[in-house]
Structure 1
Amino acid sequence: MILYKTNQNWFSDVSHLARSWTMVRIMRSVFAIGVYAAAVSIVVEYFELAEYIRLNTSVFSLLGVILSIFLVFRTNSAYDRWWEARKQWGALVNNTRNLAIYVRTMFPKEDPETRHFFAKHISNFCLALVEHLREGTKLDKLVFLHDEDRTYYENKGHIPNHIALQIFERIAEAHRKGEINEGDYINIKAQHQSLLDILGACERIKKTPIPFSYAVYLKIFITAYGLMLPFALVNTFHMMTVPLVMFMFFALLGVELLGEEIEDPFGLDCNDLPTGDIAHTIKTNVFELLEVRSGKGKDVERELYEKVF
């Protein structure tokens, strides 16, 4: 995710666009439509075909309004997904801290093994969730794994689910043994349940993109609009049609592709959420609460976003 301060440096903020893979895709398409518009303009001007092309520009103005309405809906739906994902990860930060505080206060101070267990598994739940929402959990990303842990997780298709199961099994066992009372059990159970609620909400966002038919229809609409636009403008603007078409196509296609980029907020695009960094923050917080240390065993590195040049 690109981090910046608002109202600081206009041109510095604009320069970030040049490093976005989405912007590269946009510029390639704009260049292609520019070549097409230039070819149309040259042919019309050279062969004097203007009198045979009588397209009313007001029709394209109306089509532009209709297209703008579609793009507004597209952008809003994509941003809603991005913001909902951010709220879920913000709730994950709060709930893991609350869970760690409950563990610290409810379990005996003379039981460092239990505290380490919860610190390890709460941290690994978040670290596993990061990769689960991408291409599947990578065990090398988890901390303090023993050989039996690796053997157990290697046979599981949904690792965050099983980490949550291990956490609750430990809580239920402590309740049966009388280490925590009924009230504490009910309170800590609610904090644990929130982890699964957040997991389910993130999976819903991940697995329910905008309907395919709508996305394809919008692409066809933009493409058709861009291909017909030079014929409407060439009689009036002649060779100036080329930059005008390129600019209008840049605006329309840019909104569509930027919506596509933030529609899946869990990846490594430059505008996706920094879920890996958030997970490492949770790990540090949890270990500080339960073991009075930052989570060691892994060096904390900021994520490298693949689609930033």
Structure 2
Amino acid sequence: MIIKSRVPVKYILREIWVTLSVVALIGIIADILHIYFADVVPDIPISIATTLGIAISILVSFKVNQSYDRWWEARKIWGAIVNDSRTLVLQLRMYLSDNNPLIKTMAYRQIAWCYSLGQSLRGQDPYENITGLISEEEFLSINEHKNVPLAILGLQVDSIKQLFDEGELDRFSRLQLEETVERLTASMGRCERIKNTVFPTTYRQGLHMAIYLFVIFLALSEPLQLSVVLEVLILVIISMVFFFLEKAAFRIQDPFENYPTDTPMTSISRTIDINIRQLLGETDLPKPIEPNDFYIM
């Protein structure tokens, strides 16, 4: 997640340098056509480029709004995960005796679940950061599952059933814990829905081509029959706004792809880790995730 109000220029240019290079090439070709083929190449009315520019502005605005909705939904889901993770540990402390070893076991499993879910959504190793949080036996059991976070929740359910069977939980306490696990499962499913639902690629391709078409019409219009350097500079500056907004929308539409615009799942998981350890009375706490330049993961 980008955490600074000013994004480095090098990051912006790195995102759109290819498209700006194409725009510069279009400007050079248009200038050559005006010089050597003035009788063949017609002057395009500036009103065509203006009308197309207005249409592109509307389309870009729509895409940015739709993409941000997906990103904001993902952020709200992880906010709910923070709340439910804390709630689970507080419920265990409330319903069980202080010396019950399953409080720490289930609390550590919840930390492992958060780390594993974030890694899975990014397509990375789901076992990273969970060493020491679950036992070797549990590690071997979840290793057989394709969906590691779901397997960890399965272990949580097994422990709740064990506590109920042993008389450590009454029906009400069991129901409350089951509802918390159910909310965590629902949050995981919502994240997977966002991850697996592809934003229509044809929309982005059509918008991308429309911006190039706008640049071509603008380059061939009579008001832009200037020196090649000035013409290219104007085209690059004008198109840069459209291309950057289009690229920004493309990045935030997928909040689990390990980009600087990602939902900061690793940072959120580390916060949950610290909070849960403090609830358990521990003092040896991991350090919060530090920002990487202008963003945090």
TM-score by length of 1: 0.86
Percent of pairs with identical residues: 22
Paired residue for 1:129, among 111, 117, 120? 117
Aligned with 2:256: secondary structure? coil
| Partner secondary structure for residue 141 of structure 1 | coil
Find the counterpart in structure 1 of residue 247 from structure 2.
257
1:93–1:233 distance in 2 versus 1, CA, 3 Å: farther
Structure 1 counterpart of 2:253, one-letter code: E
Secondary structure of 2:8's match?
A: helix
- The DSSP-based 3-state class of the residue aligned with 1:127 is helix
Q: Distance in 2 between matches of 1:106 and 1:266?
A: 35
| Mapped partners of 1:293, 1:41: distance in 2 | 70
Alignment counterpart, residue 182 of structure 1, candidates 146, 150, 171 = 171
**Is the counterpart of residue 75 in structure 1 residue 64 in structure 2?**
yes
Give the direction of change, closer, same or farther, for the CA distance of 1:168–1:86 in structure 2 (3 Å limit): same
Q: Count residues with an aligned counterpart.
A: 294
| Structure 2 unaligned blocks of 5 or more | none
Q: Aligned partners of 1:254 and 1:93: how far apart in 2? A: 33
1-structure distance, mates of 2:244, 2:193: 26
Q: Hey, what does 1:8 align to over in structure 2? A: none
Partners of 1:150 and 1:61 in 2: how far apart?
61
Equivalences for residues 16-31 of structure 1 within 5 A: 16-20=7-11, 23-31=13-21
User: CA shift at 1:51, angstroms?
Assistant: 7.6
Aligned to 2:162: 173
**Counterpart position of 2:108:** 120
Call closer, same or farther: CA 1:149–1:227 in 2, change over 3 Å.
farther
The 1:227/1:52 distance shift into structure 2, 3 A limit, reads closer
Give the counterpart letter for 1:121 in structure 2: R
Of residues 279-288 and 138-147 in structure 1, the stretch that sits farther from structure 2 once superposed is 138-147
Residue 109 (structure 1) shift: 1.1
Aligned residues of 1:133 and 1:206 also touching (Cα < 8 A): yes
Cα offset for 1:304? 5.3
Whether the 8 Å CA contact 1:123–1:283 is kept in 2: the answer is yes
Distance of 2:152 and 2:291 partners within structure 1: 23
CA distance in 2, matches of 1:42, 1:124: 62
1:280 matches 2:289: no
Q: Is 1:2 the equivalent of 2:7?
A: no
**Partner letter of residue 2 of structure 2?**
I
Quote the residue 2:140 is aligned against.
151
Report if aligned partners of 1:130, 1:137 keep a CA contact under 8 Å in 2: no
Question: Does residue 107 of the first structure (1) align with residue 102 of the second (2)?
Answer: no
Partner of 1:40: 30
User: Which of 53, 56, 77 lines up with 1:64 in the alignment?
Assistant: 53
Change (3 A) 1:235 1:2: closer
Confirm or deny that 1:93 pairs with 2:82: yes
Unmatched 5+ stretches in structure 1: 5-12
Q: CA deviation at 1:91?
A: 0.8
1: CA distance between counterparts of 2:270 and 2:195?
21
Separation in structure 1 between the aligned mates of residue 66 and residue 83 of structure 2, nearest angstrom: 26
Distance 1:189 1:32, change over 3 A: same
In structure 1, distance between residues paired with 2:283 and 2:202: 48
RMSD: 2.5
Per-residue Cα deviation, 1:206-249 (whole angstroms, up to 9, x for no partner): 11131122222222222222233211256554543222211121
Residues 198, 169 of structure 1: alpha-carbon distance in 2 compared, 3 angstrom cutoff: same
Give how far 1:43 is off.
3.8
Any conservation in 1 of the 2:164–2:174 contact (CA below 8 Å)? yes
Q: Which residue of 2 aligns with 1:223?
A: 212
TM-fit CA distance, 1:42: 3.6
Q: Contact 1:283/1:295 (CA < 8 Å) preserved in 2?
A: no
Distance 2:124 2:56 in 1: 37
- Residues 294, 74 of structure 1: CA spacing in aligned structure 2 closer, same or farther, 3 A cutoff? farther
Q: Distance in 2 between matches of 1:226 and 1:86?
A: 36
1:100–1:278 distance in 2 versus 1, CA, 3 Å: same
Scaled by the length of structure 2, what TM-score is found? 0.90
> 2:79 and 2:261 mapped to 1: Cα distance?
17
User: In the alignment, what sits opposite 1:10?
Assistant: none
